[in-house]
Structure 1
Amino acid sequence: VDVKEGLTPMDEDVADLLRKTPKKVLLVANKVDNTQRANDHAEFYSLGLGEIYCISAINGSGTGDLLDELVRDFEVEEEEENIDTDLPKIAVVGRPNVGKSSMINALIGQDRNIVTNISGTTRDSLLTRYNLFGFDFMIVDTAGVRKKGKVFEDVEFYSVMRSIRSIESSDVCILMLDASQGLESQDLNLFSLIQRNNKGVVIVVNKWDLIEKDTNTSKDFEARIRERIAPFDDVPIIFTSVINKQRIFKVLETAKMVYESRTQQISTSRLNEEVLPIVKEENPPPSYKGKHIKIKYVMQLKTAYPQFVFYCNLPQYIREPYRRYVENRMREIYNFHGVPITLYFREK
């Protein structure tokens, strides 16, 4: 009701209807902007709807008490399923309108996430448990991330922040691209963010059905992507059409493979048996100013993603090209495709 206008016949007619309903009714008097109007609400008690909550929508006074009363009778709904925090967490990220929500809807077989042609439809990060066909993990639909200069609304700003937090808390990220637009600078920014947080990554090129193809179209497209993301180019790339449900199951299989590779623990004996011959006999570190570098043994650290320590006599002389060579060989041996790994060289 409007304190400024006072009690009207229309208020009385609506109150007559509301008194007949079995549901709880809150009587709210708006435009109580000052102490003088605070005393003008008493006439509304004649409506017979109980206590009156005086608020001012323009400055927000009184809205806290109203909100407390409003949520008092809300039922706390149980989650559909008990969310197991130990389950793998896979975040689907990308620019707006590349098909992230459509992908998740196609996977779970229901329209859980709203899909429109309007960029920015998804505002929050939506968590869904997927436990079909031998898979069991949490999949997160995130809001599309645009360049900072194109974000003008506060709502979109916080949506982007939640998307970034989803990346930080995930195990594997599915980075979705629009095949008709290719790999753009914002995609590279997201890829860099995933890399800095040491998350597993799978690149999914969606809307592949819109591209005119010849014999080498996919190979050329993949080569251009790997060239742009170098030197971190050991990443699975899958071409899909969500609307045709083409290769979407392969996306799950690849994400699961990346997660298993990211969480594998390799015993010290196995590492020294398989990696040590490479760095000691096959291709040892190049000498520096006549000083020979001897690597004695290697072990894996117990961390969230694969990190390895190589103990040697002169770690300060290990150069970046050799470090990258060892990393690439380990990727080949242990199938670390799409998985970040870190190598440390320490003195022993």
Structure 2
Amino acid sequence: MSVVAIVGRPNVGKSTLFNRILGTRRAIVEDFPGVTRDRNYARITRYGTPFVLIDTGGFEPASEDHLLAQMREQSRLAIEEADVILFVVDARQGLTPSDEDVAAMLRRSEKPVLYVVNKVDGFSQEAAAGEFFALGGDRLFSVSAEHGRGMDDLIEALLEALPASAKNDALAEDETRLAVIGRPNVGKSSLINRMIGAERLVANPTAGTTRDSIDTPFAYNKKRYVLIDTAGIRRKGRVQEKLEKYSVIQSLKAMERAHVVLVVLDAEEGVTDQDLTVAGYALERGRAVILVVNKWDLVEKDQGTMKKFTENVRRAFKFLPFAPIVFVSALSGQRVSKIMGEVERVSVEFNRQVPTSALNKVLEEAVISHAPPMVQGKRLKFYYMTQTGVRPPSFVVFGNHAAGVHFSYERYLANKLREAFGFNGCPIRLTFRNRGGRE
């Protein structure tokens, strides 16, 4: 998936532009510089061509202020990750030396740059925008991110500038891609080396050794797989200057390309909030998930240790009750061989297709066992169900009041599908539509 970075000096309207492209108010917007200090990112799907959009803190090339230096480093990281850059300047303030410094740096990146002159709310700003041609762009996009003025032309140019996707599921239906995801220093690279039996990746006890996603093709039981190692995902506030260049975007892009996600946990540290966040990313993207508890050899054990740890994991990952749990040691190789067995089983479920007749039998029995609730004085009715896709298994249920289906009843139907057909290790997507087709 392509990445688009929004960069520019503080207070030129980058976050407002981010929100305008996203279509919702997600980035904090205030009328003073420095509000956005870290990279903010979102997956954009509303234009037909999905891409990841990064909002960054203001870029002040010459400032020695520590906070501004951190913000500058965040912008540099975003530029490194980006396929296309939106360089935002302020029509009201006019061209500044800092704008020229940023433009020079972007030219050195040799990446496509769209020059966006923001805060053009009328003819006077439009006339003054021409001075920004001095930055070297052959086209300027005069916009008002706050009011939406000029956005259609900018979006059209942005979509044209996006590179063709390098990966396509349709081109590799016979291979299964595994993304190895987790916090820094949980042993992801060591685990991959142990799984494929070679020192393919640099493994180092220093957190953050891996900075890019690395693909490793291999075969298992005469089937093709690709292991994707990723940089550790760490809270954005922990990413500091040149010391820690962990790329959240690279990990999210790895999930986009993956079919199965191995979420690696540290047995010594237990489950952390960041582990839950990482797993949540995988669930949001509809990926099959396996929870891999690494460094199990370092835990003091008795007869009930694994059972107790499993209960704690299940309680913490209550949104992933279907995910298998594997306890391993990448260092010693203990139980690592069990991972691929789980991957094979989960892959079968991820691609499972169920006949419509069998689905509707389960739907009928589910409704008889637990009738849908009343909505606006009328009983919800479901007429039939059909499967619309795999990876993940996706279903549409047709009824008389799609908007009235409560999430608890949706969860009930999903559980009934699991009881009947399995789908272990992967999410189920249910969509409800009125019989006329409206969701």
8 Å CA contact 1:123–1:155 kept in 2: the answer is no
Matches within 5 A, 1:169-184: 169-184=257-272
Q: Distance in 2 between matches of 1:158 and 1:92?
A: 15
AA of the residue aligned to 2:210: T
Determine the structure 2 residue equivalent to 1:264: 352
Q: Separation in 1 of the partners of 2:373 and 2:346?
A: 32
Q: Is the 8 A contact 1:174 1:204 kept in 2?
A: yes
Tell me if structure 1 keeps the 8 A contact 2:193–2:199: yes
CA contact (8 A) 1:278 1:284 kept: no
1:203 aligns with 2:311: no
Q: Which residue of 2 aligns with 1:324?
A: 411
One-letter identity of the residue aligned with 2:322: D
CA distance in 2: counterparts of 1:132 and 1:316, whole angstroms? 45
Q: What's the TM-score, normalizing by structure 1?
A: 0.71
Listed as ranges, the matches of 1:70-149 within 5 Å are: 85-86=172-173, 87-149=175-237
Residues 286 and 207 of structure 1: is their aligned pair in 2 closer, same or farther, counting only changes over 3 Å? same
Give 3-state SS (helix, strand or coil) of 1:242's partner.
coil
Q: Which secondary structure does the structure 1 equivalent of 2:290 belong to? A: strand
Taking the TM superposition and a 5 Å limit, the aligned residue runs for 1:42-53 are: none
Q: Which has the higher strand share?
A: 2
RMSD (Å), alpha carbons = 2.3
- Inter-CA distance 263–210: structure 2 relative to 1 (3 Å threshold): same
Paired residue secondary structure (1:243): coil
CA distance in 1, matches of 2:292, 2:217: 20
Are the structure 2 counterparts of residues 316 and 216 from structure 1 closer, same or farther at C-alpha, using a change threshold of 3 Å?
Answer: same
Number of aligned residue pairs: 268
Q: Distance in 2 between matches of 1:303 and 1:103?
A: 28
CA distances 1:262-308 after superposition (whole Å, capped 9, x unpaired)? 122222122123x1232332222133465322222110113542111
Alignment of 1:21-60 (within 5 A): none
From the superposition, tell whether residues 340 and 155 of structure 1 become closer, same or farther in structure 2 (CA, over 3 Å). farther
TM-score, with structure 2 as normaliser: 0.57
1:313 maps to what in 2? 400
| Distance verdict in 2 for CA 1:231–1:122, change over 3 Å | closer
The answer (yes or no) to whether the contact 1:123–1:156 under 8 Å persists in 2 is no
Cα deviation, residue 154, structure 1: 5.3
Structure 1 segments unaligned to the other structure (5+ residues) = 1-58, 65-83
- Which letter maps to 1:333? A
Deviation at 1:90, TM superposition (A): 0.4
Task: Give SS of 2:293's match.
Answer: strand
Q: What is the match of residue 383 of structure 2?
A: 296
Q: State whether residues 167 and 173 of structure 1, in contact with CA within 8 Å, keep that contact through their aligned partners in structure 2.
A: yes
- Cα distance in 2 between the residues matched to 1:340 and 1:206: 23
Map of 1:243 onto structure 2:
331
Once residues 343 and 123 of structure 1 are traced to their aligned partners in structure 2, the CA distance between those partners, rounded to angstroms, is 36
Task: State how far apart, in whole Å, the 2-side matches of 1:210 and 1:216 are.
Answer: 16
More helix by share: 1
Farther-moved stretch of structure 1 (119-128 vs 286-295): 286-295
Give a deviation string over 1:108-166, Cα, whole Å, max 9, x none. 11111111211111122111112033442111111112111111145854633212211
What residue is the counterpart of 1:12 in the other structure? Answer: none
- Which residue identity does 2:412 align to in structure 1? Y
Query: Does the Cα contact within 8 Å between 2:382 and 2:399 map onto a contact in 1?
Result: yes
Asked which structure has the greater CA Rg, the reply is: 1
Give distance in 2, aligned partners of 1:136 and 1:177.
Answer: 26
Q: Letter of the aligned partner of 2:262 in structure 1?
A: I
**Counterpart-to-counterpart distance in 2, 1:304 and 1:132:** 20
Partner SS state of residue 187, structure 1: helix
SS of aligned partner of 1:136: strand
Tell me which residue corresponds to 1:281: 368
